[in-house]
Each structure stands twice: as C-alpha cells, then as structure tokens.
Amino acid sequence: MAKLVTVIIGLILVSSCTTMVGAGNNAPKTPPAITANMDLDQALRAAIDFGGTTARDVRRLIDKRKQWPMAEKVLYQAIQDGIIKYQNSQLINAVVLYTSGPVMPNQALFTQMVTSGRPLARQLAWQMAASLPGKEMRTAMERELNRAISDDDEESLFVPAMAVAAQANRMTSAYTVVRRGLLVTNQEEFAQAMATLNPEQASADFLDYLALCPPEELRQLTVSSVNIFAATIGLNHLLRYPPSLSNSQLETVFYYAISRNPGLSELASQLVEILSQKNKTAMALTLSRLPVWAQVAYIEGARRNMTSAKRVFLSELRKVTAHMEIMDELGDVKL
C-alpha cells in the first residue's frame, strides 16, 4: 500500500501547478475564489484547470455539500471528453479529483482511458485502477492484459503504474507480465508487485534477477545491470522466503554478500546465514566452487564482523574447500 500512496501523491504533486491550462485566450489566468455558493460545475472547472489548493478547496466544498454523486457524474463525463481535448495538467487534475472522492471502481472509464492512444491517459488509467481496486476493476484489467498479449502489444503494459494496479487489485494472474516487466524496465514497482502477487514463485525469480548483475559490478560499485532498489526488494523478500538450496543461481547470494554496496552486502550476508542454518554443507560447497578471490573476499568480510553462525559456516568451508589459498586464509581465522 505504501507504493500506492506514493503514486497518488505523485499525481497530486504534478497537478499542484497553478499555471493556467484552460483552453482559449479568454480563459482566466488566476484561480477563482471557491465560495460556499459557487455553482458545482464552475467549481469543478476551476479544480480541473488549476489543481493544487484550488482542487483541495473544491473537494472540501463537495464534502460539505454532500455532492459527490453529482460531482462524480460531471467528472466522469469531463474525463471522457478530456482524453482528447484536455491538456496534460487538466487531465491529471480531473483524474486526481475523481479518485479522491467516494467513487466506485468504473471499468468503463478505465477501459476507455487505457485503450486510448494517449500515453498519459493510459498511465492515468492504471493509476486510477490502483486507487480504486475491486472485483470490477480487476475484471477490466484482466481484459486489457489479454488484449495486449493477444495483439502482441505486451510492452504497452510495462509501465510502473500497471504493476502498482496489479498489486493493489491482488491480480495474481498478472504475475507473469509483472515479472517480464521487471526484466524489461528494471523498475522496482514490478519487483514489489511480484513479492505480493506470488511470494513463493518470486523467490526463485528474484534470484534469477539478481544474477543478472555481474560480480564485477557488485565489487566496483558500478551496478547498472539491475536496479539497486529492486535488488533490495528482492533480497528482503528472500529473507522471508528463502530460495531452494538446489537453485542453480544460489552462488549469486555470495556475490551480493561481498558487494561493496553496504545495504546489499548486509542483506545478502543475512541470507547466507539463514541458508547455512538449513544446510551448512550445501552452502559451503556452493562457496567453494566460486573463484578464489570471491571466497577470500567473503572470508575477509566475515572476519570483520564475526558471529557464531559465521564461525560454524567457515569451519564447514574448511572441510570442503579444495584450494590451499582458502585453507591458508582460514588458518588466520579463529574457528
């Protein structure tokens, strides 16, 4: 839900500009005062044109008059028309005001916006779906996903707002698209949605994603192959849903543990301890198959922050390693 709040706050911040966006040279250049006896249509027009504090005052006016049912109808029509004729800030203001009221999910409006050729309208449609979740909205979203896939238009779904909407609507059927979205865009919203929609499957998929980052990037603080925020989400998720010890990408955990990014290193080191408690021999064998430099880096890191769990694990590594260099390195560690 935190990400959902962030999306809506982002919309409000974008719409808070009070620059005149109304059509025509005769349009007012400053927002009108919102008064108690102001006509509803006039008030809504001011909110759409100016957003910001004007929209806030209009929301208060509608609340006080208990006019949301009427305001919803007016805004619904305004958004439908505005998909084509509104400037960007007007369309944003209209959708933000619409979703701020006690309105029900409207799949017809979502469908009209998401199937329009206007990129902003499509993005706002997904953000509206995130802020107005429900069975009806989930049905409309599933219809759009099926259309995009059947039309070979899957890339149109790879916007962070879609991932947030899928998460808010608990749309488990969107998991495959969300996972693909993470790989294509590297955006953390897709990682967060994966963790929510299918926690068990996400465990294996996050390990695959983390493995996309070469060890050199992790060691040189030049991480670009993955999104650090998405990687952090993935590692935190793996702490709650540890991967299988038979996973072919298990060695990736050690490369993150020796990363020079303190946040990633700390999370991965915790994960190594959790997995080692499950099967210290399997983990020690995994580490022993890594290049010598990686094993040495892990030992040095463990030495700087030794724990009883790490001491037990390094004792197991000494039993299984085939490298004299590692034996020598471990000889300096009090086990």
DSSP alpha helix (H) spans, the chain = 2-15, 40-50, 52-65, 68-85, 88-100, 107-114, 119-131, 135-150, 160-168, 175-185, 188-197, 199-210, 215-220, 228-240, 252-257, 262-278, 280-288, 292-304, 308-320, 324-331
39 backbone dihedrals φ, ψ, rounded to 5°? -65, 140
Distances (CA, A) of 253 to 60, 123, 171, 242, 330: 52, 35, 29, 11, 20
The whole-angstrom separation of Cα 72 and Cα 88 is: 20
pLDDT of residue 27: 52
SS3 47: helix
Is the full-model pTM beyond 0.75?
Answer: yes
Which residue from 35, 36, 37, 34 is spatially nearest to 48, judged by alpha carbons? 34
pLDDT of residue 323: 85
Distances (CA, A) of 110 to 105, 126, 286: 9, 8, 49
Give the relative orientation of helices 119-131 and 107-114 as an angle to the nearest 10 degrees.
150
pLDDT by 10s per residue, the chain, length 335: 444 444 444 544 444 443 333 443 445 679 999 999 999 999 999 999 999 999 999 999 999 999 999 999 999 999 999 999 999 999 999 999 999 999 888 999 999 999 998 999 999 999 999 999 999 999 999 999 999 999 999 999 999 999 999 999 999 999 999 999 999 999 999 999 999 999 999 999 999 999 999 999 999 988 999 999 999 999 999 999 999 999 999 999 999 999 999 999 999 999 999 999 999 999 999 999 999 999 999 999 998 888 888 999 999 999 998 888 888 888 866 65
The sign of the CA dihedral 142, 144, 145, 151 is: positive
The whole-angstrom separation of Cα 269 and Cα 265 is: 6
DSSP 251-316: THHHHHHT-SSHHHHHHHHHHHHHHHHH-HHHHHHHHHTS-HHHHHHHHHHHHHT--HHHHHHHHH
Contact between 303 and 333 (Cβ < 8 Å): yes
241 backbone dihedrals φ, ψ, rounded to 5°? -130, 80
Distances (CA, A) of 299 to 50, 221, 294: 60, 20, 9
Contact between 204 and 244 (Cβ < 8 Å): yes
Calculate ∠ Cα 204-134-173, nearest 5°.
Answer: 30
